[in-house]
Amino acid sequence: MGSQMITIKINSKTQRLNSGISVTDLLADLHLNTDQVAIELNQFILPHHCFSTTVLKDGDRLELVHFVGGG
């Protein structure tokens, strides 16, 4: 029996993911550094210290902003 899937929106794009995935796991899958990302989850800013304990649920909406250094 396979993993249950959830559907979320990331920056307005629909994504299907395995259930039980944390925000930290998602960022790793997207190859994003947790120190360089700001996340809004369901219209609320998610503090960095909550990334590893926040498990995504079906219907969640995320807005990710990735900061890039440079000059």
Q: How many domains does the chain have?
A: 1
With beta carbons less than 8 A apart as the criterion, state whether 60 and 11 touch: no
pTM: 0.87
Interacting residues of 63 by C-beta distance below 8 A, sequence separation 6+:
10, 11, 39, 40
| pLDDT score, position 1 | 47
| pLDDT score, position 66 | 84
Q: Answer positive or negative: Cα dihedral of 44, 31, 54, 5.
A: positive
Instruction: Evaluate if residue 3 carries a pLDDT over 80.
Output: no
With beta carbons less than 8 A apart as the criterion, state whether 55 and 21 touch: yes
Note whether residue 40 is domain-resident.
yes
The pLDDT tens digits for 54-66 are 999 999 999 999 8
Note whether residue 42 is domain-resident.
yes
The pLDDT tens digits for 14-40 are 999 999 999 999 999 999 988 899 999
CATH label of the domain that carries residue 41: 3.10.20.30
